[in-house]
Amino acid sequence: MKKPESTIAIFDPQTTSDELWEKYYHFYLKIFKEMFPDDPPPSKETIKKEMKNPQPDTIDYRWILSEEKNSNVIGYGRVTVDNESSPAYQANKHVAFGNLFVEKVFRRLGCGTDLLKILVTKVKDEGKTVFQGGSLLENGKAFCEKFGGKIALTEEESRLKLEEVDWEMLNEWVDEGTRRAEGVTIERFEDIPEKDINDYCQLFTETLNQVPKGELEWEAKETPETRRMREKRNKLINRIWTTLITRETDGTISGLTETVYQPDQATLLFQWLTSVKKEYRGRGLGKWLKAEMLKYSKKTFPEVKFVVTDFAVTNAPMIAINKRLGFKKHKFWSEYKFNVDKLSHSLVL
């Protein structure tokens, strides 16, 4: 098959026509089903809301690759950078993140390279020196390596089948937590209470930055402002974002766990960060939080069949807890890092 006649155009979610949204979503479904063949995809409306309401501290630049003969979308690329108002801007100002996808039948024809040239030109224009992005598919990994990408982190996606959970063990974890951490309580919320938001953001930032990240270059910094904006964004895109915390007898927030439930992917529950502040570890708080969240989620979201989580393959404590819970390996992501100057040279930019 020869390379198709095609055009690359900016894809602006705020101004895109209904017709182009339809074509893009048709392309999106093909990529999604290739990556997650057994999962229910997000609806077109969810994707639109997500793109139209970006993360509060980043800027996204997007492009689509379309066939000239029928204007069907056959490729997509994105570059994400921290905006200058981001609380982590100084730490991340040299880094850009990105990804690109090409429909399977049009791969190995130069379409991906054409998109990559556009992305890297934008990264250079933004003054970034490091470009980072991941791949789940083997052909995507080969593409990254072809252009000099170095694996910076390997992440495992694991899944827990709820019908296989040992609920008796979870009850034991709850009992253990209440016994070893006497006086500690667990609280649940979607929006952080105003009285707790500063302490919570400090704990979130501290523990997220302790998560193994290999050779990836990035730093997280959550503030009350960014947290409130994320809460608002998740409501706009119809996500239910649930947080559990452990509170010490002096009122300190010592641990947290988060999940996200998307009604149009009703069989899946996404487990986000679970962490305990360093000086409060060793009392079973992480297991207690996980157990309480699973018990709550089973009752609240009865359609859920699988809990989905991902973590660095070097994160031994989390691997141990998840293994005991019954999580099983599902897929592996490779996160790549590129030197922008070397990547530009290989692309002859």
Give the residue extent of every domain in the chain.
Answer: 6-128, 157-334
State the Cα–Cα distance between residues 130 and 148, nearest whole angstrom.
12
> Which of 162, 165, 297, 322 has the alpha carbon at shortest distance from 241?
297
Work out the mean pLDDT of the chain and round it to a whole number. 95
pLDDT confidence tier of residue 317, bands split at 50, 70 and 90: confident
Unique residue bearing structure tokens 């969810």: 46
Confidence (pLDDT) at 61: 98
Residues of the chain with pLDDT > 90, as a percent, come to 93
pLDDT confidence tier of residue 272, bands split at 50, 70 and 90: very high
> Which of 101, 31, 97 has the alpha carbon at shortest distance from 65?
101
State the Cα–Cα distance between residues 57 and 230, nearest whole angstrom.
10
Confidence (pLDDT) at 30: 98
Unique residue bearing structure tokens 């690329």: 77
Confidence (pLDDT) at 15: 96
Q: Do domains 6-128 and 157-334 have the same CATH topology?
A: yes
pLDDT per residue as tens digits for the range 171-221: 999 999 999 999 999 999 999 999 999 999 999 999 999 999 999 999 999
Confidence (pLDDT) at 348: 84
State the Cα–Cα distance between residues 160 and 269, nearest whole angstrom.
10
pLDDT confidence tier of residue 3, bands split at 50, 70 and 90: very high
State the Cα–Cα distance between residues 38 and 32, nearest whole angstrom.
10
Contact 11, 66 (CB under 8 A): no
State the Cα–Cα distance between residues 332 and 313, nearest whole angstrom.
9
Confidence (pLDDT) at 27: 98
Residue 261 confidence (pLDDT) above 90: yes
pLDDT confidence tier of residue 328, bands split at 50, 70 and 90: very high
pLDDT per residue as tens digits for the range 54-81: 988 999 999 999 999 999 999 999 999 9
Confidence (pLDDT) at 164: 95
Average pLDDT value for residue range 102-118:
97
State the Cα–Cα distance between residues 123 and 117, nearest whole angstrom.
10
Fold of domain 6-128: Aminopeptidase (3.40.630)
Confidence (pLDDT) at 66: 98
Helix then strand then coil, in percent of the chain rounded to 5, is 40, 30, 30
> Which of 168, 190, 209 has the alpha carbon at shortest distance from 261?
190
What are the angstrom distances between the C-alpha of 69 and each of 66, 73, 74, 108? Answer: 9, 11, 12, 20
Fold of domain 157-334: Aminopeptidase (3.40.630)
Class of residue 183 by CB neighbours under 10 A (exposed 0-12, middle 13-18, buried 19+): exposed
Confidence (pLDDT) at 312: 72
Global confidence as pTM: 0.94
How many CB atoms sit inside 10 A of residue 292's CB? 19
| Interaxial angle between packed helices 44-52 and 18-35, expressed in degrees from 0 to 180 and rounded to the nearest 10 | 110
